[in-house]
């Protein structure tokens, strides 16, 4: 998937805040083994490592473009590897993942897999966008289903695999997890205008659409998307209330 670190970093502070809020949910400890799933540019991996004394931290991502950035944050005991989340190996005291797991389907199966990689008493903590009912998502789906894009995008998932809050709690409970926390937070971003919303989405939600359409058709998609966004939000500034789900749970000792 052609992730573009520069595009992703255009809204750096807005994107970092939930990742930092997730780091604050990580239980402290000495000499922990830690993995960051879908580490992207590695900035948060480094911040997580800085907070955990003597930790051995591995950031994994399947995008070589993102990893090229991430490697600038490598140091002793902070490593980055190209690997898919589906293919993780080993056990960890802390599994952290910010804004990445929503790209994977079947979260009940995914959580089962991730819990099996926790050491006894280890913690899984992740954050995923839960914006599927926001008008921006509706507009994106409408443009995806419109001509001439519908055929090329027919097999793209039209929604995130993100579960409802209570479903995460149930799934984790059924897996025997302890200290389960599930919460939703709305980040009320104030951004310049409708075009800025399109720019934001270019860094994340539109990445697989660009991949499916190719650059030329993607430009046409972007024009149609911008036009719809401008009709919905003609003014400036625009409030973009971004919903995010935070989940944390511990493996039994
Ligand atoms: C929105 S970025 C988040 C990056 C970072 N965690 C952050 O918060 O800044 C999502 C990242 O997940 C990675 N990703 C998506 N699906 C993945 C998968 N199945 N395996 C590994 N990485 C994946 C992408 O390459 C991308 O770098």
pLDDT of the residue at 8: 65
Q: Is 243 in the pocket of ligand 1 (CB under 6 A)?
A: no
Residues 49-104: tens digit of each pLDDT = 999 999 999 999 999 999 999 999 999 999 999 999 999 999 999 999 999 999 89
pLDDT of the residue at 97: 98
**The pLDDT of residue 9 is above 80:** no
Residues 169-179: tens digit of each pLDDT = 999 999 999 99
pLDDT of the residue at 1: 52
Compute, in angstroms, the gap from residue 231 CA to the centroid of ligand 1: 31
Distances (CA, A) of 172 to 21, 135, 143, 166: 21, 30, 35, 10
Q: Is 40 in the pocket of ligand 1 (CB under 6 A)?
A: yes
Quote the CA–CA distance of 162 and 51 in Å, as a whole number: 28
**Mean pLDDT of the residues in the chain:** 93
Q: Is 44 in the pocket of ligand 1 (CB under 6 A)?
A: yes
Q: Which CATH number fits domain 5-250: 3.50.50.60, 3.40.50.150, 3.40.50.970, 3.40.50.2300?
A: 3.40.50.150
**The pLDDT of residue 158 is above 60:** no
Residues of the chain with pLDDT > 90, as a percent, come to 83
Quote the CA–CA distance of 5 and 126 in Å, as a whole number: 21
**The pLDDT of residue 165 is above 60:** yes
The rounded radius of gyration (Å) of the Cα atoms in the chain is: 18
């Amino acid at each position: 998937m052609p992730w573009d670190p520069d595009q992703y970093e255009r809204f750096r502070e807005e994107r970092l805040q939930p990742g930092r809020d997730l780091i604050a949910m990580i239980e402290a400890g000495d000499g922990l083994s830690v993995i960051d799933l879908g580490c992207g540019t590695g900035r948060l991996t480094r911040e997580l490592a800085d907070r955990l004394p003597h930790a051995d931290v591995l950031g994994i991502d399947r995008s070589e473009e993102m990893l090229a950035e991430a490697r600038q944050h490598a140091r002793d005991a902070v490593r980055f590897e190209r690997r898919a989340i589906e293919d993780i190996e080993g056990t960890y005291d802390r599994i952290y993942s910010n804004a990445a797991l929503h790209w994977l389907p079947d979260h009940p199966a995914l959580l089962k897999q991730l819990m099996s990689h926790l050491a006894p008493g280890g913690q899984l903590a992740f954050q995923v966008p839960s914006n599927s009912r926001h008008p921006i998502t509706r507009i994106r789906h409408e443009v995806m289903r419109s001509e001439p894009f519908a055929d090329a995008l027919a097999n793209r998932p039209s929604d995130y695999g993100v579960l409802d809050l209570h479903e995460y709690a149930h799934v984790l409970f059924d897996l025997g997890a302890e200290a389960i926390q599930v919460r939703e937070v709305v980040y009320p971003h104030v951004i310049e205008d409708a075009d800025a919303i399109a720019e934001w989405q270019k860094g994340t939600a539109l990445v697989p659409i660009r991949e499916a359409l190719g650059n030329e058709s993607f430009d046409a998609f972007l024009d149609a998307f911008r036009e719809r966004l401008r009709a919905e939000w003609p003014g400036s500034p625009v409030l973009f209330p971004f919903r995010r789900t935070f989940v944390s749970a511990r493996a039994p000792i």
